[in-house]
Structure 1
Amino acid sequence: MRALRAMTWVELKLFAREPVTVLFLLVLPLVILYVLNGVFGSQPDPTVWEGQPPVDFYTPSYVALTAATAGILSLPVHLAGYREQGVLRRFRASAIRPATLIGAHMVVAGALATAGALLLTVVSWIGYDVALPEDWLGVLLAYLVVILAFTALGGLLGLAMPTARAAQGLGVLLFFVFMMLGGAGPPKEALPTSLQHVADVVPVTHAGAMLRHPWLYSDWDVGATAVMLLILVGSVALTAWRLRHEEAR
């Protein structure tokens, strides 16, 4: 645990030296939320957005997107860069396990995503009078599962990608897919039928639903929870297998 705390502090300071990445994670969701609110207005439509006002629908959806962005865009690039530079190999020869480094990156990504989620919520509340969560505890539990799932997925992608550039390219691609088809862009009902089917398997779709239900309805989306838990458990299991496989080489 001491090694994890020390490594997390080091990685947090290194991450703070990349202001472009920090601004991307903190500011971009606000910009897109502002644009969408200007396009769609604030009046609910029973045919889209689950009958909710657009800003009430999009705010928890963008909290989910912020968590996903930290997990699949920033985290894999750093881990893949470390693999490319031989840092993980050197860690295997020291007393620090590579899993500690991955855990530190997950904590840093989770902290940054949480800061972005809080900023997004506060701005939506002050600027657009967004509905605050009906069930705060449910939202916090849902967010914990969502952030753990996406950071675990990011750790897996960081180990799987051969270079930092490859990880960045994949992350940018996934970000736009998640944004456009995961409930954070055009309403799902406005998409062609084929893209609606694709949207059904996009992780952010389920993450957004998992957050929206305690946020807006004081209930729980069991199906979305099962999907996010599957991503979390599967990512952790595959990451552990990958680390054991590389240590055995």
Structure 2
Amino acid sequence: MSDSKDKGPDTRAIVRDGLWDNNVVLGQMLGMCPVMAVTSSATNGLGMGLATMVVLIVSNAMIASIRNWVSDTVRIPVFIALIAGLVTLVDICLNAWLHELYKVLGIYIALIVVNCAVLGRAEAFASRNTVAASALDGTAMGLGFTLALVVMGGIREILGAGTLFANAHILLGAHFAFLEMRVLPEAASTLFMILPPGGFLTLGLLIAARRRIQDGLEARAAASASTSAVLAN
């Protein structure tokens, strides 16, 4: 086997890819079911994001460690079985230690199994890279997913209820109580934002904002490259 297959990609590129360039929600637009369903509050988004990140990290690392022993003809069923097992463990752990969060997230925990981002990273990255690089990729993708859910949930919660990270001490544990705050008076809240239409509106605006920022960064990079070429000549 060639050494190029075992050589991990650049660390900065992996982190940037997961957090920004190929952000699961805002870039690839994957996992839309939990994104729309659980982001009525930042607390729910944080819980769902962290659960998904755990699955991404562990599944990526495990798949990278067995990639040389799994035949190409059966790799997809093997990946799915492994991911399903991990999701079952996460589901059981949440039910045991974070039962209130488990009740809020409900079936969407089990649906991590069919989240295209998880299987996609297993096939596109973990099956071709080292364990360390794959674990980092899972961490970056999971963080990007979590940040998107928290930002989206935070916007909807602030505008819809006037609070931020409400009930964090109940859903995530007493040590998360410091996150809870009231941002707007209750009278200033807009119920529309925590209803499904508010979720679609918030997601659309976030995707548009990311694309606008990305276009600006690319234009600046192109201008900088052009200036450097002129100076070099």
Structure having the higher Rg: 2
Fold equivalence (TM over 0.5): no
TM-score scaled by structure 1?
0.38
More contact order relative to length (CA 8 Å, sep ≥ 6): 2
